[in-house]
Amino acid sequence: MMRSFPLLLIAALGLLLVFALGDSLLTGTEIGPVAQHYLDNGVAETGVYNLVTAVLLDYRALDTLLESAVIFAAAAAVWSLMQQRRLPDAEGGLSVAVRTLIPRLLPLLLVYSVHLALFGHLTPGGGFQGGVVLSVVSVLLIAAFGTGYEYRLISPNTKSRLELLGGGILVVIALAPLVVGAALLTNGGAGFPLGQPGSLFSGGTIPVLSLAIFVKVAAAFSLILYSLLKKGS
Amino acid sequence: MDVLSLGPWVGLALFLIGLYGLLTSREMTRIVMNLTVAESGVIFALVARAGSGGQGAPIVGNAAGSMVAPLPHALVLTAIVIGASLTALGLSLAQGTHELERNAGSGEEQ
Amino acid sequence: MTLAIILLYGMALAAALGAVLASQRLTAVVLLSVLSITLALLYSVFHAPDVAITEAVIGAGVVTAVYLITIARTGGDTG
């Protein structure tokens, strides 16, 4: 009885959800009016081809700003939880095969991460994806050469300064439209040049925001990974 | 029946599987893992529901027919990145808890 | 195409069930990254390349690394 109780509970909740959502969320294919507006006017209003980026960094840029605040809070929390700990002494890294393969893989990943961040407004990708790929580079460096090598390459202090730099750029761009009397994070409406849609320099503030998020997310995630690697006394 | 329209139901099933795991697990890393499964289910349900309504990704010049709605994709991207940072936070709490328990255990033995 | 999608659905459900029911944490972590890769493929089927990239990189890369570190730090493969 006790063992099957969770199963019964989940079955009941499942039935409830099927009845509640069966004819709205789970079926149906129509596009809502807001999304339809983005599809119809996205390129004209933001100057970028990738409409997901247009929503993320222009229409709903406030969400993205607060999301990066959440990431900052998470990184700070992990960092402070692990502050009492020290890096493990062993810093040898993995086998010869891994140490040979990974340095040949790293340039590709670096180029890919920068590509994702730079061309996020034209092709799939964006600052978040690029930043996470860049933090994977830091994981691979630790896996191949140990924590000491990674520490000497980019110290945690540099990473936290880079994260502050990214966050600072985000806040400055967010506040800039207030000077001309536009709302927070306005892009084209505040006079930023939208450029020719489809070219690298287009979309006003969107590529800049993307690069700032790229730096910030990469620094935050590699800081988190680095903190988790520390050992207790 | 179109196979793409089954997607949200698969998402619901993933959510329920993760929730079952949450109800039955006691160890902290397992709790975080099951939370990840449930979260993936919700995310997949949203993307699948948006994706079965069009013929192309919401990128101008790429789509052959009508594009799918970009709004769920943007919301879901935010959710994935925040989910990853919350997973990291939960796991660092798990490490701290483990250490506290170990220290308390060795204190009682002495 | 239809068969491939059904296969991916099955793989996602099986990986999720396995991750929830696995007796060892290491097995569960590997199955979680299988789930992430399967979901990334499904996202690209559902016309969401942005989400697919993110899920693949985060689910199979960063989150897996974080889980492995935590398992190594909290008493290896038990529980």
Chain B residues in contact with A198 (beta carbon < 8 A): 61
ipTM of the complex: 0.91
**pLDDT tens-digit series, residues A63-79:** 999 999 999 999 999 99
Sign (positive or negative) of CA dihedral B22, B25, B26, B31:
negative
Long-range pairs for C41-45 at CB < 8 Å and ≥24 separation?
C41/C8, C42/B7, C42/B44, C42/B48, C42/C5, C42/C8, C42/C9, C42/C12, C43/B44, C43/B47, C43/B51, C45/B4, C45/B51, C45/C5, C45/C8
pLDDT at B107: 62
Tokens of A84: 């009492």
Asked if C58 and C39 count as a contact pair (C-beta separation under 8 A), the reply is no
Supply the pTM of this predicted model: 0.91
B55-105 pLDDT, tens digit each: 788 888 765 668 888 999 999 999 999 999 999 999 999 988 888 888 887
Tell me the one-letter amino acid at A228.
L
Please judge whether B81 and C54 are an interchain contact, meaning their C-beta atoms are less than 8 angstroms apart: yes
Neighbours of chain A (3+ CB pairs under 8 A): B, C
Mean pLDDT of A23-42: 83
Return the ∠ at Cα C17 (arms to C45 and B52), rounded to 5°. Answer: 20
Q: How far is C40 from chain B (nearest CA, A)?
A: 10
- Contact across the interface for B77 and C51, Cβ inside 8 Å: yes
- Mutation site for C-interface testing, chosen from B29, B68, B92, B102 by largest number of C Cβ within 10 Å: B29
- Name the residue among C61, C73, C75, C56 with its Cα closest to residue C29: C61
Structure tokens at A46: 């933001």
* Interchain CB distance below 8 Å, A228 and C69: yes
User: What is the CA B96 to chain-centroid distance, rounded?
Assistant: 23
Residues 7-66 of C with CB under 8 A from A: 49-50, 52-54, 57-58, 61-62, 65-66
Q: Which residues of chain C have pLDDT under 50?
A: 79
How far away is chain A from the Cα of B6, in angstroms, using its nearest Cα? 8
* Structure tokens that stand for A177 in this block: 């439209």
pLDDT of residue A95: 76
What average pLDDT does the structure give for chain A? 86
For B5-44, the pLDDT digits (tens) are 889 999 999 999 999 999 999 889 999 999 999 999 999 9
Nearest to C57 among A52, A132, A228 (CB): A132
Taking Cα atoms as reference points, which of C36, A35, A79 lies closest to residue B41? C36
**What is residue A91's predicted lDDT score, i.e. its pLDDT?**
56
